[in-house]
Amino acid sequence: MKNFRKLTAILLIMTFAAVPVFAADAQSAGVVINGGRVDFSAPPVVENGRTLVALGEIAKALGAGVTYENETAVIILGDKSVSFTAGENFMVANGEKVPLDITLDTNMEKTISNSTRVPLRAVAEALGYTVKWNEEEFAAYVDGKKTEFADKLNALMPQNENYMFSPLSIKMALGLLACGAEGETLQEILCAVDEKSADTLNENSKAQIDKYTAEGILKLSVANSVWLNESRSFGAKFSDEYINAVKTYYSAESNTVNNDDAVNKINSWVNDKTNGKIPSIISDNEFAACLINAIYFKGAWLYQFDKDKTSEDTFTNLNGEEKKIPFMDETEHMKYYEDGGVQIISMPYSKRNDATDENGKLINSENSKLNIAMCIVLPKDGKQTDVAALIKNAKMSSEKVHVRLPKFKTEYSTSLKDIFKTLGINKAFSENAQFDKMKTGGSENFFVSDAIHKTYINVDENGTEAAAVTAIMVGATSIQVPDIIREFNANKPFYYAIVDTDNNEILFMGRYCMAK
């Protein structure tokens, strides 16, 4: 048997001259996902009643990532996963063995154009989709809810500590990377961020930046920059095409540094763009290029908490330990949702940050409401991975709610390298990454060496201050209801998201589960 890793390393490289070897009754089939017919480079086939699809291509079509380790390929979508191991006649779906009536191997019996084929129904259903066969069209119809980019990231965050990340910042940084990418490298980035094309990603990013720049109502800024380290780029420069693209779509500055000043200049830029909340993002100069997004937000609550009502109360940590910490307290009309397993509130921010009453609270009305809010998601079991989808789809109504919410501050830092790989971005980290659009000249190829994400959030009676920075290091080689007061007591682990309520764009997302 050939080494499975060699097969998976070329999983998505299509060699159209290859001749497929299937049983005589194998027939080409169609696949429709969420109402749209999918074009596969290696067409799906039906053999002995099974619809067989190329592993890498069906993962992409379902919005999942693929990772490879030794002789095992793992498809990951949110908190769900399916793995296949060479030579086995079963797959592992969400931790459980599921028998298959085929044995996976690396010869051409189940392979076409160097793409391993797996049963469509088994994969799709394990990832939460439903599959129905349409005999007249000779096609499989696959339906299921889309896993939001923010939820894919959230499922990969640590399970036992406080964290916060910015899906928008990460997506913007990947957009800067995509501007210089081609081929399979570009396709993996687009799949990870759920965009159909580079043009769509760029136009959507530009629209977001234009929107927040035009509003100018409160402190919400999105800044991008690209940095070339001339000491380590082996003579390469950013191409004019790349500089024009990141400037046009991301309003990105283009800068050059060297080994002596790279750390100081980049960290100074980050410190400035985050109003001092994230003073640094890099600690060394070991990169040929660095692509950075920074987001800073400061907003006052539309209905501020009365500081006199803040008092100590008990927060039950994820491990069951009880801690006495300050809780804010207020009763107001706000958007509210609940079902058997979760409560959600949406606390809007104000357009204004002046005009206070004798108690120092903002004088506001519904006309002062900004279309950005903090949504608090309080699951009864303490766990909820589809936070973005839940916020997007919850039918919230205006209710009078008594809110008890901890004051909290979280600073978080992580490498995104493994997370990006889990989302299916693998080629970008290899020595044969395709970033020729990014550079001109030089003797070495560009590839991603690391990605760093840092965040800060402080929530108190007045409002919220939050910041996020993503750096990608490139190496060379409502309906009104009666005033029933709802109780919302966030005295156990909860999730939160700062949301642009115009389009449900998640600016920041996090979890508070350990009071300190």
Each residue's pLDDT tens digit, 97-115: 988 776 665 433 343 334 6
Alpha carbon distance 165, 337 (integer Å): 24
CA distances from 324 to 301, 320, 470, 492 (A): 24, 13, 34, 12
The answer to whether 318 and 371 have CB atoms below 8 angstroms apart is: no
pLDDT digits (tens, 9 = 90+) for 460-510: 999 999 999 999 999 998 434 456 788 888 888 989 899 998 888 889 899
Surface-to-core class of residue 501, CB atoms within 10 Å of its CB (0-12 exposed, 13-18 middle, 19+ buried): middle
pLDDT of residue 107: 39
- CA 269, distance to chain mean position in Å, is 24
**In percent, how much of the chain has pLDDT > 90?**
55
pLDDT of residue 407: 95
CA angle 402, 408, 410 (to 5 degrees): 140
Domains and CATH numbers, the chain: 4-143 (3.30.457.10), 149-299+410-476 (3.30.497.10), 301-407+480-512 (2.30.39.10)
Centre a 10 Å sphere on the Cβ of residue 181 and count the other Cβ atoms it contains. Answer: 26
Amino acid 5 reads R
pLDDT digits (tens, 9 = 90+) for 380-425: 887 766 899 899 989 999 999 999 999 999 999 999 999 999 898 9
pLDDT of residue 236: 94
Closest by Cα among 57, 35, 34, 33 to 44: 57
pLDDT of residue 363: 59
pTM: predicted TM-score of the whole model, two decimal places: 0.82
Residue 5, pLDDT above cutoff 80: no
Tokens (6 digits) for 78:
């949110």
Determine what percent of the chain falls in helix, strand and coil, rounding each to the nearest 5.
Answer: 25, 40, 40
pLDDT digits (tens, 9 = 90+) for 346-390: 999 987 655 556 566 655 555 667 788 999 999 988 776 689 989
pLDDT digits (tens, 9 = 90+) for 280-336: 999 999 999 999 999 999 999 988 999 999 999 999 998 899 999 999 999 999 999
Alpha carbon distance 79, 157 (integer Å): 11
Amino acid 164 reads M
Residue 288 carries which DSSP code? S
Alpha carbon distance 31, 36 (integer Å): 8
Instruction: Give the start-end residues of each E strand in 214-321.
Output: 219-229, 237-238, 253-257, 289-300, 311-316
- Crossing angle of helices 198-215/183-192, nearest 10°? 50
Closest by Cα among 238, 237, 212 to 223: 212
Alpha carbon distance 144, 146 (integer Å): 6
The answer to whether 396 and 480 have CB atoms below 8 angstroms apart is: no
